[in-house]
Amino acid sequence: MKPIQVGLLGIGTVGSGTFNVLTRNQEEIRRRAGRGIEITMVADLNVERAREIVGDRARVVADAREIIANPEIDIVIELIGGYGIARALVLEAINAGKHVVTANKALLAVHGTEIFAAASAKGVMVAFEAAVAGGIPIIKALREGLTANQVQWVAGIINGTTNFILSEMRDKGLDFDVVLKEAQRLGYAEADPTFDIEGVDAAHKATLMSALAFGIPVQFDKAHVEGITKLAAADIRYAEQLGYRIKLLGIAKRRDDVGGIELRVHPTLVPAKRLIANVEGAMNAVMVQGDAVGTTLYYGKGAGSEPTASAVIADLVDITRLHTADPDHRVPHLAFQADELRDTPVLSIDQVRTAFYLRLRVADQKGVLSSITSILAASDISIDAVLQRESNEGEHQTDVIILTHETQEGAMRAALAQMQALPTVLAPIVSLRKEELA
């Protein structure tokens, strides 16, 4: 059978990895797919650089629409990124009857509903394994491997750049800016690295996982998003002393008690003994808890050229195998049949329940601790542990660290406002969420 023909839009970090791996492992992939898979056309703004990568193995064009217009092309891979031209090209490719593979989590988290609907109407597939956790097959796990389960929660380190920054800062004492530049050099960071460090990229991925886990539409605008830019080295150290590591986690949790879904990204204290707390560098890991299977963990490279290419090519193989199948018999894009998605609400952050880590800079005088703990008690917030740093000689202030048991975020915010107003609290209180992930 003639090889399936693929057009590649964008041959940057992931695009070049995809071209190279597909070329290198061509024969093995053909044996798995049942048919050869060839990238026969490549579009990139930088035509010269693209030609250097592909040589004479594919036709290089500057205009991506030449690929979409080519009737010989069966599958279009979008590896340009962003919401702008990428959205237009993906929709045009779908309308031209092409299957689409993309690693673009930003596009799908924001415009997924429109894109999946367009694909269903045209009977084509949109595959996005590379969009979450790079090379880890977490989409496949959520969509197929765990299909028997009611998923309880998903929690993951799903941004390599921020995990790399947190690890390097903790282990080598390097500055934030230095480590960010290195992450950019290594090809982990997004074109706009604020998406990484402010938690937006992780929230795009958590949004996609929430849809797959709970059968809800993709709703990035409902996600609560906090990044790592306000994290202080002191909190990383105190967390260690208390037996925790701080990780930027993307969390999606079913809350049957209130009939909603928590969807949030924020720095999180995780017990140091958990495997996920020991995931370092640009590595990613996702934990999924299902009612039948219990807790599962998926680990691997979440970014970079060939790890991400591995996921892109897995999608190419899937599509090649299913190319001629009746569209009704394909695995649905978001794991649940399109007409079975529910409007279970995504909860506001005030309704979220977590334990907390608090750091208060206080005057070192009598009665300070009791004034703080009485506010917590009056707010029905139970204390799990307290740590008070000895003040240095001649210093009249100190840090008090409090770990609480689980409480509702709204109650904690009200208590924080009261504590902040105490004259003995000398600086803005640091509050971080804590998860046991058991």
Considering only 188, 214, 244, 356, the residue that binds ligand NDP (CB under 6 A) is 188
107 is in an annotated binding site: no
- 201 is a contact residue toward ligand HSE (CB under 6 A): yes
Nearer of residues 21 and 419 to ligand NDP, judged by Cβ: 21
Nearer of residues 267 and 302 to ligand HSE, judged by Cβ: 302
Instruction: Provide the residue type at 424 as one letter.
Output: T
Instruction: Provide the residue type at 310 as one letter.
Output: S
Strands, DSSP E only, in 256-363? 260-271, 283-290, 294-301, 353-363
Residue 168 CB neighbour total at 10 angstroms: 20
How far is residue 16 from each of residues 34, 79, 124, 126, 317, measured CA to CA in Å?
A: 24, 10, 25, 21, 18
Look at residue 161 and give the partner it binds from ligand NDP, ligand HSE, none, a contact being a CB closer than 5 to 8 Å depending on partner kind: ligand HSE
Nearer of residues 191 and 427 to ligand NDP, judged by Cβ: 191
What CA–CA distance (Å, rounded) separates 309 from 91?
A: 22
Respond yes or no: is residue 205 known to be catalytic.
yes
Look at residue 80 and give the partner it binds from ligand NDP, ligand HSE, none, a contact being a CB closer than 5 to 8 Å depending on partner kind: ligand NDP
- 315 is a contact residue toward ligand HSE (CB under 6 A): no
- 112 is a contact residue toward ligand HSE (CB under 6 A): no
Record the tokens describing residue 50, joined without a space.
């693209």
For the range 270-273, what are the long-range contacts, defined as Cβ-Cβ under 8 Å and sequence gap of 24 or more? 270/244, 270/245, 270/246, 270/434, 270/435, 270/437, 271/243, 271/244, 271/436, 271/437, 272/240, 272/243, 272/244, 272/245, 273/243
Nearer of residues 20 and 371 to ligand NDP, judged by Cβ: 20
Tell me which residues in 291-310 interact with ligand NDP (CB under 6 A): 303-304, 308
The single residue of 98, 140, 205, 434 carrying the catalytic annotation is: 205
Provide the CA 328 distance to its chain's centre, in angstroms: 29
- 91 is a contact residue toward ligand NDP (CB under 6 A): no
What CA–CA distance (Å, rounded) separates 280 from 157?
A: 10
Place of tokens 């990383």: 236
Considering only 10, 81, 134, 307, the residue that binds ligand HSE (CB under 6 A) is 134
Binding site for ligand NDP (CB under 6 A): 9-15, 43-46, 64, 79-81, 85, 103-104, 130, 134, 187-188, 190-191, 303-304, 308
Which residues are known to be catalytic?
205
Query: What is the contact surface with ligand HSE in residues (CB under 6 A)?
Result: 134, 159-161, 188-190, 196, 201, 302-303
